[in-house]
Chains A and B, each alone.
Chain A
C-alpha cells in the first residue's frame, strides 16, 4: 500500500516537474516587457538645445520616464524623480529663475501653454489677459533659452485630456502622498532617441531679380534697389517657432511688393529705370549670417550698382509709428533722401516715421539689424521696423508668443503701402507729387487676401533654420512664389557660422499612464494566496476528509526507520 502510494506521489512529482519547466519558460518570455496602450498620448515640443562657441544652452536631455507631480512644494517629494506639470499662466517666474540658476535637481518639466483656439482671431482682440500672457511667455522664453538645464523641458498645449490628468495629479498631491514608485499615480513617458548634433545646418538664401528698362545705347549698369527680409526664426520650442511678426510680416510685405512691381515691370511702357533685387535671407537670429554670405557672393559690379537697400523686420503690429534704423549718420545725403521719400508717403497715410542711428562697431561681432551687414560692405541700407530699440542676441526672433493672433493685418498693409509708394515715386521720379500709384480699387491695388493667405501659411510653418532642410515645403513655396514675380531666381545654400551648433529631437509624443502601486499588487498577491489555500483546504476536506488534510502537514514517516 505504501509502495503504491509512493509510486503515485512519484508520478505526481514528475507532473509537477514538467509544470515547473513550463513556468520557467514563461518567465523567460515574460522578461521582455512591452508597453501597452497609454491612457493618454499628447504631442509635446522640446526646448531647444544648442551651443554657442561650445557653451551649452537649453535642455540637454530628451528622454523622460518619471512620475508626474503638480508643484515644486509637495512635502517629502523626491523632485529628482518627478516631472513637474505646470500651466504657464500659473508659473512663478522668479521662483523658476532661482530654481534653474541654482541648479536644483528635477526629473523634468512639462509646461502647458494656453489652448490653441485656431490660428487666427478676427479683429483686434487685445485683452489685458492676452497682454499679460504675452509678457509671461517672452520672459519665460528668454529665461529658458539662456539657461543650461540638465533635465528635459517640454511644452504642450492644454486640452481636456491633459487638464483631467493635471487635476488628478493635483488631487493626489493634495492628499499629502507624494508620487513615488510605491504609491501609484501617473507616469509620464517620452521615448525618443538621444538628441544628436545637427551635422551641417544649412541656410538658404533666395533672391529674385527684376531687371529695369535699359534704353538704347545705354551702356552703363542700371542702378539697383534692394528689398530684403529674413525669413527664419528662433525660439524656445523650435517646433512652435512660427514667427508671425518676426519676421513673417516682413516676408509677406516683400512678396506683395514683388508682386506689385512685377505687374508694373511686365509692361515695357511702365518698366522703371532701376533694377529691383528681392532677397529672402536666412540666418537672421545668428547675427544675420546669411545676409553676410549672400552679400559676399555678389560680384563687384552688382554691389556697386546698389543705390540703397530697404530691410524689413517686424512690421506687423504697429499703430502710428514706424522706425528707420540707420548706421550712417542721418545727415548723409542718401539716408536723407530715403527718409524723406518715406516720410512723404507716411504723412499722406497719417503715420510718423522716426529715425534711429546706431553706429557700427567693427570689432563687435554682434549684428543687431540686417542693414548693418550692408553697411559693413559700404552699401547704403536702412531697416524699417516697429521695434524702436535694437534687439539683443536671440531676442525678438519669433518665439512662443509670436503667433498669428499677435499680428495686425492693417499694419502690414500700411507698411506695404509706405514702401511701395516711396519706391515707385523714387523709381519713376514722382517725388513730391501727390500721386497714388497703388491706389485702392485700381488694378495695382494691394491685395489684402494675398497678405492674409501668406500670413496664414507662414504662421503654420515653423522656420528654425538648422531644422529646415534644403527641400522643406516652406522654402519651396517661397522659391516658387518669388520666381512667379521675378524674372530670374537664384538660390544659395550655405552652412551656419560654426559658432552655433544645434541638436535635433524637437518634437515627441508623451504617453501618460495611470499606474498602480507595487503595494497594491503585493496585496493582491496575498489575497490570491489566501484564496488558493482556502480553496485547496476546502477541496481536500470535502473530497478526502479531514484526516488527509492533517496528514499533508505531518512529515512523511522516515524511510530509514521503515527499512530498518
Chain B
C-alpha cells in the first residue's frame, strides 16, 4: 500500500496536466514543443531565483515572519513574471493562435513547477510505511498551482502580446497579474505568520485560484470582443 499511495499522489499531482493537454485542442495542434520550451525557460528562471535568494536573503534564526525578508522574496518572485514574459514573447513558436499559445506556455510552466517542487518529496516520503495526509495536500496544491499558472499566462499574453486592449481594462489586468504573481508569498504568509492548518491553507489556495481563473477568463473574453 505504500507504493500504491505514492502512485495515487503522483496521479493527483501530475494527472491534471496530462488531462488538460489531451482534453483541450492543444493535443490536436501538437503544441508539446511549446510546452517543452516553456518548461526549459522555467528551469532557467528557477535557477536564477535560487541564486538571487542565496545571495540576498539572510537565514532567519527564529523562523518568525520578517517583513523585510518577505518583501525581498516577493521581489524575487517577480523574476517568475520576467521568465514568463521571455517564454511568451521571445521564443519562436509555431504558428498557433494566441489562445493556444498562452495555454501551452502556461501548461509547460506549471508542469515544470510541479515536477521540481513535488516529485522529490513524493518519491522519498510517500513510499514509506507511515501514512500522512501531507502528500494528498501537496497534490491539491499542485492542482491549484496549475490553474494559477494558466491564469498568469493568460494575463501575460494579454499584457504583452495583444496590442489593442480596451482602455478601462488595462489597470485591472495589471492588478490581477500582480495578485497572481504574489500568490505564493500570500500563501506562505498565511501558513507561517497566521499559522493556518494545512487543510485550510490548501482550501484557500484552491478557492483563490478558481476565482482568479474566472477573473482572467472574463478579462480575456472581454479583450477578445473587439476583433
Report A's interface with B, CB cutoff 8 A: 8, 11-12, 15, 19, 30-31, 33-39, 184, 187, 189, 513-518, 521, 524-525, 528, 532, 535-540, 543-544
Known contacts A535-B16, A535-B19, A514 near B25 by CB under 8 Å = no
Compute how far the CA of A36 lies from the CA of B5 in the bound complex, rounded to whole angstroms: 13
Contacts of A517 in B (CB 8 A): 1
In Å, the complex CA distance between A544 and B26 comes to 11
CB of A33 within 8 A of CB of B32, answer no
Task: List 21 contacting pairs A-B, 8 Å CB cutoff, sorted by A.
Answer: A8-B29, A8-B30, A11-B30, A12-B22, A12-B27, A12-B30, A15-B32, A19-B18, A33-B3, A36-B129, A187-B129, A516-B5, A516-B131, A518-B1, A518-B4, A521-B8, A528-B8, A528-B12, A532-B15, A535-B19, A544-B25
Residue of B nearest to A533 (CB): B19
Min CB–CB distance B187 → chain A (angstroms):
22
What 5 A-B pairs have minimum CB-CB distances, sorted nearest first?
A: A36-B128, A539-B23, A516-B131, A513-B129, A543-B24
* Cα of A31 to Cα of B23 in the assembled complex, Å: 31
Whole-angstrom CA separation of A524 from B131 in the bound complex = 13
Tally of A-B Cβ pairs under 8 angstroms: 91
In the complex, residue of chain A having the shortest beta-carbon distance to the beta carbon of B103:
A543
Q: Are B23 and A540 in contact (CB under 8 A)?
A: yes
Contact A536 B22 (CB under 8 A): yes
Bound form: Cα–Cα A39–B15 in Å: 30
Question: In the complex, what distance in Å separates the CA atom of A18 from the CA atom of B1?
Answer: 27
| Bound Cα distance from A539 to B107, whole angstroms | 14
In the complex, are the beta carbons of B2 and A33 less than 8 A apart?
yes
B5 touches A39 (CB 8 A): no
Expressed in whole angstroms, the minimum distance between the Cβ of A505 and any Cβ of chain B is: 22
A34 to chain B, nearest CB (A): 6
Question: In the assembled complex, how far is the CB of residue A556 from the closest CB belonging to chain B, in whole angstroms?
Answer: 15
Q: Is the CB of B19 within 8 A of A536?
A: yes
**CB nearest to A184 among chain B residues:** B131
Chain B residues with Cβ under 8 A from A31's Cβ? Answer: 3
Q: What CA separation (Å) do A39 and B129 show in the bound complex? A: 10
B120 within 8 A of A: no
Residues of B with C-beta under 8 A to A39? 130
B194 at the interface (CB under 8 A from A): no
How long is the Cα–Cα vector from A515 to B127 in the complex, in angstroms?
Answer: 12
Nearest neighbor of B130 in chain A, beta-carbon distance: A513
- A36–B11 Cα distance when bound, in Å, is 20
Q: Are B125 and A36 in contact (CB under 8 A)?
A: yes
Given contacts A516-B5, A518-B4, A528-B12, contact A539 B20 (CB under 8 A): yes
Tally chain B residues at the interface, Cβ within 8 Å. Answer: 32
CB distance from A218 to the nearest CB of B (A): 77
Write the B33-76 contact mask toward A (1 if CB under 8 angstroms, else 0).
Answer: 00000000000000000000000000000000000000000000
- Bound together, the chains give a CA A31 to CA B130 distance in angstroms of 18
With A515-B131, A516-B131 as given contacts, are A521 and B15 in contact (CB-CB < 8 Å)? no
Name which residue of chain B comes closest to A11, CB basis.
B30
A518 vs B2: C-alpha distance when bound (angstroms): 9
Which residue in B7, B18, B29, B128 is a CB contact (below 8 Å) of A35? B128
Contact B131 A532 (CB under 8 A): no
In the docked arrangement, what's the CA distance between A30 and B4, Å? 10
- With a cutoff of 8 Å between Cβ atoms, the chain A residues found around residue B11 in the complex are 525, 528, 532
The smallest beta-carbon distance between B96 and chain A, in angstroms, is 13
Contact (Cβ within 8 A) A521 B5? yes
Given A516-B1, A521-B8, A524-B8, check contact A539 B24 (CB 8 Å): yes
Across the interface, which residues of B come within 8 angstroms of A11, CB to CB?
A: 30
User: Which residues on A sit within 8 Å (CB–CB) of B111?
Assistant: none
Measured between beta carbons, the chain A residues less than 8 angstroms from B12 are: 528
Q: Which residue of the partner chain B has the closest CB to A182?
A: B1
Determine the distance from Cα of A518 to Cα of B127 in the docked complex, in whole angstroms.
14
Question: Do A528 and B15 touch (CB < 8 A)?
Answer: yes
| Bound: A516/B6 CA distance, A | 13
- What 0/1 readout, one digit per residue, does chain B (109-127) give for beta carbons within 8 Å of chain A? 0000000000000001101
Chain B residues near A38: list those with CB within 8 A.
129-130
Asked whether A34 lies within 8 Å of B127 as measured between CB atoms, the reply is yes
Closest to A522 in B: B4
Q: How far is the CA of A368 from the CA of B1 in the complex (A)?
A: 56
In the assembled complex, the Cα of A449 lies from the Cα of B5 at a distance in Å of: 60
Instruction: Indicate whether A543 sits within 8 Å of B130 (C-beta atoms), given known contacts A528-B8, A528-B11.
Output: no
Report the bound CA distance from A559 to B1 in whole Å. Answer: 44
Considering residues B11, B23, B127, which has the most beta carbons from chain A within 10 angstroms of its beta carbon?
B23
B80 CB to closest chain A CB, in angstroms? 25
Given known A8-B28, A36-B124, A544-B25, contact A514–B130 (CB-CB < 8 A): yes
The residue on B at minimum CB distance from A523 is B8
* B206 CB–A CB distance under 8 Å: no
Contacts of A30 in B (CB 8 A): 3, 6-7, 127
Does B136 belong to the interface (CB within 8 Å)? Answer: yes
The answer to whether A532 touches B5 (Cβ under 8 A) is no
**Residue in A36, A532, A538 whose CB lies within 8 Å of B130:** A36
User: In the complex, what's the smallest C-beta–C-beta distance from B105 to chain A, in angstroms?
Assistant: 16
A12 to B4, CA, bound (A): 28
Q: Which residues of A contact B7 (CB under 8 A)?
A: 30, 525
